[in-house]
């Protein structure tokens, strides 16, 4: 009996390890060497994979398929307008884009790199998809969208918190002009769309309004 229990436990451990290996996020491609300060490009790619892994597993729950992503580009952009590319000598932030497909859905993840001299860069996860809002404005809009989406969680008496699935530009962003994006958030296993309007103000601030789309 003791031997049988031991074999069963070993089988469970092996099965668990196999499932875990299938869900490891792997990013392939040639990352720019200049972005890897104090680490190799492989180490930087591994840190990015860990960063996006948690959200990616929520967007596409584990299904036994491997999660392969490809390096899709790195742009040095304006902190307040990531559609605007800058010269690396100016004040800005690096945005890395990785794209992939697994568990039957294509996904795009964005990661912002904040340099720390000779030390490895600080990484911050952006909104998945193709938002052109600045780093802070993405965070502000995310809070508003999730506040509304979490209301569904509370009213639906279900577990878990809402999360952003994707963001896409509806009307192109022009300098000093307002623009619209369509964001999707998941709550209670239901994905709902939200119309997000960004309106630059004369005082330099950004007005963000969010309206659920029925």
Residue 114: inside a domain, yes or no?
yes
Q: Tell me, yes or no, whether 45 and 63 share the same domain.
A: yes
Tell which residue, 200, 157, 197, 196, has the closest CA to residue 176: 200
Q: Tell me, yes or no, whether 118 and 161 share the same domain.
A: no
Residue 16: inside a domain, yes or no?
no
Q: Tell me, yes or no, whether 74 and 161 share the same domain.
A: no
What band does 13 get if pLDDT is binned at 50, 70 and 90? very low
**pLDDT > 50? residue 197:** yes
Q: Tell me, yes or no, whether 121 and 143 share the same domain.
A: no
Contact call for residues 152 and 190 (beta carbons, < 8 A): yes
Segment 120-132, tens digit of pLDDT: 999 999 999 999 9
User: For position 110, what pLDDT does the model report?
Assistant: 97
Segment 152-189, tens digit of pLDDT: 777 767 777 899 999 999 988 999 999 999 999 998 88
User: For position 76, what pLDDT does the model report?
Assistant: 97
Q: Look at residues 78, 100, 125 and tell me which one is the last residue of a structural domain.
A: 125
Segment 46-100, tens digit of pLDDT: 999 999 999 999 998 888 878 889 999 999 999 999 999 999 989 999 999 999 8
Inter-residue long-range contacts of 93-97, CB under 8 Å, 24+ positions, other chains counted? 93/135, 94/35, 94/121, 95/126, 96/31, 96/35, 96/48, 96/71, 97/71, 97/72, 97/73
User: For position 38, what pLDDT does the model report?
Assistant: 94
**pLDDT > 60? residue 4:** no
Output the average pLDDT for the chain. Answer: 86
What band does 14 get if pLDDT is binned at 50, 70 and 90? very low
Q: Tell me, yes or no, whether 173 and 80 share the same domain.
A: no
Q: Which of the two residues, 57 and 20, has the higher pLDDT score?
A: 57
Q: How many domains does the chain have?
A: 2
The H or E element that residue 52 is part of is: helix 41-59
Q: Tell me, yes or no, whether 118 and 31 share the same domain.
A: yes
Tell the burial category of 110 from Cβ atoms under 10 Å away from its Cβ (0-12, 13-18, 19+): buried
User: For position 18, what pLDDT does the model report?
Assistant: 35
Domain that holds residue 76: 24-125
Name residues whose C-beta falls within 8 Å of residue 24's C-beta, 6 or more positions apart in sequence. 49, 53, 66, 67
Q: Tell me, yes or no, whether 78 and 48 share the same domain.
A: yes
d(CA 210, CA 208): 7
Q: Tell me, yes or no, whether 80 and 166 share the same domain.
A: no
User: For position 108, what pLDDT does the model report?
Assistant: 96
User: For position 90, what pLDDT does the model report?
Assistant: 93
**pLDDT > 70? residue 22:** no
Q: Tell me, yes or no, whether 97 and 151 share the same domain.
A: no
Q: Tell me, yes or no, whether 31 and 104 share the same domain.
A: yes
Q: Look at residues 125, 160, 185 and tell me which one is the last residue of a structural domain.
A: 125
User: For position 133, what pLDDT does the model report?
Assistant: 97
**pLDDT > 80? residue 2:** no
Q: Look at residues 125, 148, 180 and tell me which one is the last residue of a structural domain.
A: 125
Quote the pTM value: 0.84
């Amino acid at each position: 009996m003791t031997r049988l229990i031991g074999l069963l436990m070993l089988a469970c451990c092996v099965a668990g390890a196999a499932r875990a290996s299938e869900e490891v996020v792997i990013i392939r491609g040639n990352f720019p060497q200049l972005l890897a300060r104090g680490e190799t490009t492989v180490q930087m790619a591994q840190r990015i994979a860990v960063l996006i892994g948690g959200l990616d597993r929520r967007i596409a729950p584990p299904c036994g398929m491997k999660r392969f992503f490809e390096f899709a580009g790195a742009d040095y952009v304006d902190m307040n307008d990531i559609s605007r590319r800058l010269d690396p000598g100016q004040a800005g932030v690096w945005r890395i884009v990785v794209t992939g497909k697994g568990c039957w859905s294509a996904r795009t993840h964005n990661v912002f790199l904040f340099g720390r001299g000779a030390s490895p860069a600080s990484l911050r996860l952006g909104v998945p998809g193709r938002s052109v809002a600045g780093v802070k404005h993405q965070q502000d809009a995310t809070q508003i969208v999730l506040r509304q989406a979490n209301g569904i969680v509370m009213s639906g008496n279900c577990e878990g918190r809402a999360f952003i699935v994707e963001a896409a530009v509806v009307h192109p962003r022009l300098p000093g002009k307002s623009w619209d994006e369509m964001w999707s958030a998941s709550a209670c296993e239901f994905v709902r769309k939200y119309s997000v309007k960004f309106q630059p103000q004369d005082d330099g601030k950004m007005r963000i309004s969010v309206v659920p789309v029925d």
